[in-house]
Amino acid sequence: MVTSNQIKTALIWYCRFKRQWVCAPEVDFNCGWADILFDTGTAIGEIEVKVSKGDLWNGEAKKSKHFRVQHANKFYICVPEDLKEEAVKWVEQINPKYGIMLFDRWKDIVVIRTARQLAIEYDSEYRTKILKRLSSMVYFFMKRNQINLEEKQEG
């Protein structure tokens, strides 16, 4: 069974290293949390990860962000390979402009449907949100390591 953390890790690698985008996980965005938020320099994109059919239809499909003004220029749903057909149905029903990414059996990300433009204007304020999230993650990582180091020195 594929976990959402496995997919999110692959997405961060894909966005940051393969595409050279600025990205971060779990960013406060659009009246909720984006699993992955990325900035291409000309567009802000949101990626939501779903690992089950129920989570796709009963969770994501009911979020209010799909029924109001979009702040992202692009939106993707990312699912394991075995949910490909469900993801296609979901996008067709919820918003045909959405894109689809697959987490394949080689643990790579494959875009099978490119997202089309949602919001018209690029808002660089979201780049700031991404960078703030990244700096918070670095701080907590360093703080945790400092505590672990102090515990080792005491013991």
Q: How far apart are CA 66 and CA 3, in angstroms?
A: 24
Are 45 and 76 in contact by the 8 Å Cβ rule? The answer is yes
Question: What separation in angstroms does the CA of 35 have from each of 47, 139, 144?
Answer: 6, 20, 23
Q: Count up the domains in the chain and report the number.
A: 1
* Cα pseudo-dihedral 82, 75, 32, 136, rounded to 10: 90
Q: Identify the pLDDT of residue 66.
A: 60
Q: The domain containing residue 35 runs over which residues?
A: 4-154
Structure-model confidence comparison of residues 49 and 139, the more confident one: 49
Reply yes or no on whether the pLDDT at 117 is more than 70. Answer: yes
pLDDT of 131 > 70? The answer is yes
Q: How confident is the model at residue 84 (pLDDT cuts 50, 70, 90)?
A: very high
pTM of the entire predicted model:
0.87
pLDDT for position 28: 86
Q: Nearest-CA neighbor of 34 among 137, 129, 141? A: 129
Q: Is the confidence at residue 98, as pLDDT, over 80?
A: yes
- Which pair of tokens denotes residue 36? 């992955």
Q: Helix, strand or coil for residue 52? A: coil
pLDDT (tens digit per residue) in 31-55:
678 999 999 999 999 999 999 999 8
CATH number at residue 109: 3.40.1350
pLDDT at 57: 87
Which residue did the predictor score with more confidence, 93 or 153? Answer: 93
User: What percentage of the chain reaches a pLDDT higher than 90?
Assistant: 61
Question: Among 42-56, 101-115, 131-145, which is the least confidently predicted range?
Answer: 131-145
